[in-house]
Amino acid sequence: MSRGRRALRVAAGLAGALLLAWAGFVGLTYAAMSGGPRTIGRFMAAVPGPAYAVLPFETLWNRARAGTLQPGELAPDFELPTPDGTTRVRLSSFRGRRPVVLVFGSYT
């Protein structure tokens, strides 16, 4: 086998190994993003900086966290404490009485 062919085979093998490693890391990232906040936080804290340049984080995040609720469906019922902690409020208690806007996010 000629030297050029051997080099080409080595390069193809290396490219295949890199592609396989990349696909595996994408899979691990998707699995972590499908977990809870602690899982995501622990995983993302361990991701090396250069990985952000080669992984499709936004696409993975949007797919992993999409959920199953469709427009027009009722929101799942839940209960939360009031800001002062004295009582609890259930979302379903507002159904049919007045519109409710849910805003999830951090303002800190």
Q: Specify the 3-state DSSP secondary structure of 65.
A: coil
In a domain, residue 83? The reply is no
Predicted pLDDT of residue 84: 93
Model confidence pLDDT, tens digit, residues 24-53? 989 999 999 888 888 888 998 998 888 888
Assess contact for 88 and 80: CB atoms under 8 A. Answer: yes
Q: State the residue range of the domain holding 19.
A: 3-69
pLDDT at 108: 66
Question: Residue 104 domain-assigned?
Answer: no
CB 89 within 8 A of CB 83: no
Residue 60: inside a domain = yes
Q: What is the pLDDT of residue 1?
A: 66
Residue segments in the chain with a per-residue pLDDT below the cut of 70: 1, 108
Q: Is residue 48 part of a domain?
A: yes
In this structure, is residue 94 part of a structural domain? no
Q: Is residue 15 part of a domain?
A: yes
Tell me if the pTM is above 0.85: no
- Residue 29: exposed, middle, or buried by beta-carbon count in 10 A (0-12, 13-18, 19+)? buried
Is residue 99 in some structural domain? no
Domain count, the chain: 1
> How many of the other CB atoms lie within 10 Å of CB of 34?
13
**Is there a domain that residue 107 lies in?**
no
Alpha-carbon gap, residue 51 to 48, rounded angstroms: 6
